[in-house]
Amino acid sequence: MSTYAEFYRRSIDDRDAFWAEQARLIDWKQAPRTICDNSKPPFTRWFAGGTTNLCHNAVDRHLQTRPDQPALIYVSTETGAERTYSFRELHGEVQRAAAALQGLGVKKGDRVLIYMPMIAEAAFAMLACARIGAIHSVVFGGFASVSLASRIEDATPKVIVSADAGSRGGKVVPYKPLLDEAIRLSSHKPQSVLMVDRGLAPMESVTGRDHDWAALTGKHKDAQVDCEWLDSTDISYTIYTSGTTGRPKGVQRDVGGYAVALAASMKHIFLGEPGETYFSTSDIGWVVGHSYIIYGPLIAGMATIMYEGLPIRPDAGIWWSLVEKYKVTSMFSAPTAVRVLKKHDPAFLKKYDLSSLKALSLAGEPLDEPTAQWISDGLGRPIIDNYWQTESGWPILALANGVEKQRSKFGSPGLPMYGYDIRLVHESTGAELTAPGEKGVVVIEGPTPPGFMQTVWGDDQRYVDTYWHTVPGRTVYSTFDWGIRDKDGYFFILGRTDDVINVAGHRLGTREIEESISSHPNVAEVAVVGVADSLKGQVAMAFVVPRDAAGLTDTASRLKLEGDIMKVVDEQLGAVARPSRVHFVNLLPKTRSGKLLRRAIQAVAEGRDAGDLTTIEDPSALQQIRDLMAP
Ligand code: AMP
């Protein structure tokens, strides 16, 4: 076995040979001709000439060796449902779903938007799309009609798959009215809507458009739908994510590069072996759900747990009881979830037999040291902080303990993963920073590795303009994260350089929230900033200049308007985007040229020094915010 340092160097210096080796971890119908085609930077085509299929690799190829082994373990503490599907059963379900989609006219390259709670049918729908070469676009079930509409508009799906309702903490959250409203708002209309009826909420059906999942898949009981062999560089899916501008971007991913990247990560980073069980507590609406609930574990021949419910219901031991029951070997969660558990009795961590568990990976937001220490002490298992983004599809910084056991350092997500040539550059000059402890922007030298986004769906120019920044002599991919590197090469991530905030691991654009708040008739101007929060990492805080402040003289009327504004955000974007507070001011701090001083607002809201204010138009604007924040 090589050391990780050697392994990493080979991935950069002998890139094609390295990735050709990794490519052998998956099945190809036709072997790739070119490993890395970087002839048109910054676009990279991985494994060109090869043909493969994600669903084949996740399901069919295990039918020979492990047909009766658990593949998908579905557990809902919301409805009490618990069911294990073997690879053979999963194969059947996916073929029925594929036949149903084909029956609705879905063909290779068509988009299918999936707006679903955490139910097994969502996994069947994703895998069915992959099987027939349709491009899935999963939208997080916590988003509401306006968020959903903008994604429908951009993805132009032929079919939308959804369900009557989700459930959270025992409370039914109807999806159908939000979906109907989103379709009404969107200029693109899907031909068909396929609805799973969980019997949780009544649904109004649109004749000719809406179809029932059970009825339609039931018509294809013995369906045999072969995998469509796709070019490695064909599109597997798009997933929307937030950036600086209000309009979400469709992160577009390929087929072969993604399959190889996931297979390699399961081996080198997540230590997953065929026959073992993986439990990621994420949601299929996020990239972690795509990579490490659905595709990664299944490609590795593991059983994967799909969990609908809270981490503390019926009690804070629920996840650990699942680890014991299903002998989970690798677990993946987010720091916020651990901070939620931390409020409960630590005895829950000791109540179950966790001897099967090799490691707990945490990602999505900064992992603070006390949280890492608490869970590490409680579980007595390695905690692997790992850093990545929707754009990357798999970890950028982590520890590849499958290659060589590495020392972890709390507060650091670790080292650059193989395939990633990571640098730190100066924010404005782009000059490379090499001295330990220097703070810079984390960037990636092209070509980006397999699994990385191909482009922004439908907008190559936006991909180039948004992510690829000129530094002396070349362009590099910007992660939009601040970072520092210590003398051992370990990175520390210090937050975003742009207007993206991270609330409980959910990535939100402050501009999207501002746009939503602006639609309230009594809002003249608004600034939304992310403010540090001990539980959620960050929360959104809004500062609003009302159009008419005359009626806002007493606390009750201010609270009423605050509540009304929160309701608008709930209805349009979803409760995940709801600001924790809406404060009213009569002007916002701006520069003399009219630019909002977001960083100054954020600093003051967090009780920090506002920094350089030489360009401020009217210092009293910031003083108002200071007064509001005073205890
Ligand atoms: P998302 O695309 O939703 O996965 O969000 C990606 C962003 O989350 C990154 O750009 C970081 O700002 C943040 N992030 C993800 N993982 C970590 C981590 N382990 N430590 C610090 N920040 C993280």
Which tens digit of pLDDT belongs to each residue from 183-212?
999 999 999 999 999 999 999 999 999 999
Looking at residues 437-454, what average pLDDT do you find?
Answer: 98
CA distance 604 to 624: 10
What spacing in Å lies between the alpha carbon of 373 and ligand 1's midpoint?
20
For residue 583, how far is the Cα from the chain centroid?
Answer: 30
Q: In terms of C-beta density within 10 A (0-12 exposed, 13-18 middle, 19 or more buried), how is residue 218 classed?
A: exposed
What spacing in Å lies between the alpha carbon of 15 and ligand 1's midpoint?
26
CA distance 614 to 601: 15
Which protein residue has the closest C-alpha to ligand 1 atom 1? 389
CA distance 181 to 176: 8
Neighbours of 110 (CB within 10 A): 19
CA distance 608 to 455: 38
Q: In what order do the strands lie in the sheet with 537-546?
A: 523-533, 537-546, 581-584
Q: 596 or 245: which carries more pLDDT confidence?
A: 596
pTM: 0.95
Q: Is 200 helix (H, G, I), strand (E, B) or coil?
A: coil
- pLDDT of 622 higher than 70: yes
CA-based diameter of the chain, in Å? 73
Contact 253, 390 (CB under 8 A): no
CA distance 308 to 75: 6
Amino acid 171: pLDDT: 96
- pLDDT of 434 higher than 90: yes
Please give the structure tokens belonging to residue 120.
């097994």
What spacing in Å lies between the alpha carbon of 151 and ligand 1's midpoint?
22
Return the ligand 1 atom nearest residue 397 CA: 19
Q: Is 158 helix (H, G, I), strand (E, B) or coil?
A: coil
Amino acid 275: pLDDT: 98
Amino acid 18: pLDDT: 98
Which protein residue has the closest C-alpha to ligand 1 atom 9? 389
In a mutational test of the pocket of ligand 1, which residue from 138, 384, 388, 503 has the highest number of ligand atoms less than 8 Å from its CB? 388
Amino acid 613: pLDDT: 85
In a mutational test of the pocket of ligand 1, which residue from 333, 365, 497 has the highest number of ligand atoms less than 8 Å from its CB? 365
Which protein residue has the closest C-alpha to ligand 1 atom 19? 387
Which protein residue has the closest C-alpha to ligand 1 atom 6? 389
Amino acid 424: pLDDT: 98
- pLDDT of 539 higher than 70: yes
Contact 284, 293 (CB under 8 A): yes
Q: Which residues line ligand 1 (CB under 6 A)?
A: 241, 287, 363-367, 385-390, 413, 479, 481, 493, 496, 502, 507
What spacing in Å lies between the alpha carbon of 44 and ligand 1's midpoint?
23
> What mean pLDDT, rounded, does the chain reach?
96
pLDDT category of residue 247 using cuts at 50, 70 and 90: confident
CA distance 16 to 47: 10
For residue 326, how far is the Cα from the chain centroid?
Answer: 25
CA distance 533 to 340: 12
In a mutational test of the pocket of ligand 1, which residue from 493, 500, 506, 510 has the highest number of ligand atoms less than 8 Å from its CB? 493
What spacing in Å lies between the alpha carbon of 112 and ligand 1's midpoint?
27
Return the ligand 1 atom nearest residue 386 CA: 19
Q: In terms of C-beta density within 10 A (0-12 exposed, 13-18 middle, 19 or more buried), how is residue 191 classed?
A: middle
Phi and psi at residue 428, to the nearest 5°: -100, -35
Neighbours of 75 (CB within 10 A): 23
Which pLDDT tens digit goes with each residue over 571-620? 999 999 999 999 999 999 998 888 889 989 999 999 999 888 888 889 99
- pLDDT of 141 higher than 80: yes
What spacing in Å lies between the alpha carbon of 209 and ligand 1's midpoint?
38
What spacing in Å lies between the alpha carbon of 496 and ligand 1's midpoint?
9
CA distance 63 to 59: 7
Burial 227-252 (b: 16+ CB within 10 A, else e): bbbbbbbbbbbbbbbbbeebbbbbbb
Which pLDDT tens digit goes with each residue over 78-119? 999 999 999 999 999 999 999 999 999 999 999 999 999 999
pLDDT category of residue 248 using cuts at 50, 70 and 90: confident
Q: Is 623 helix (H, G, I), strand (E, B) or coil?
A: helix
- pLDDT of 1 higher than 60: no
* 611 CB-near residues (< 8 Å, 6+ apart): 599, 600, 603
The radius of gyration of the chain's CA atoms, rounded to the nearest angstrom, is 24
- pLDDT of 548 higher than 70: yes
Amino acid 246: pLDDT: 65
Q: In terms of C-beta density within 10 A (0-12 exposed, 13-18 middle, 19 or more buried), how is residue 465 classed?
A: exposed
Contact 463, 253 (CB under 8 A): no
Looking at residues 348-354, what average pLDDT do you find?
Answer: 95
Collect contacts of 591-598 with beta carbons under 8 A, ≥24 apart.
591/615, 591/616, 591/617, 592/616, 592/617, 596/527, 597/622, 598/499, 598/510, 598/527, 598/529
Inter-axis angle of helices 620-629 and 598-605, to 10 degrees? 30
In a mutational test of the pocket of ligand 1, which residue from 249, 507, 536, 576 has the highest number of ligand atoms less than 8 Å from its CB? 507
User: Above pLDDT 70, what percent of the chain?
Assistant: 100
Torsion angle in degrees (nearest 10) through CA of 392, 394, 395, 400: -140
Which protein residue has the closest C-alpha to ligand 1 atom 20? 366
Please give the structure tokens belonging to residue 538.
């960050």
Q: 485 or 599: which carries more pLDDT confidence?
A: 485
Amino acid 614: pLDDT: 84
Q: Which residue's entry shows tokens 């043909």?
A: 51
Which protein residue has the closest C-alpha to ligand 1 atom 13? 365
CA distance 624 to 590: 13
Which protein residue has the closest C-alpha to ligand 1 atom 7? 389
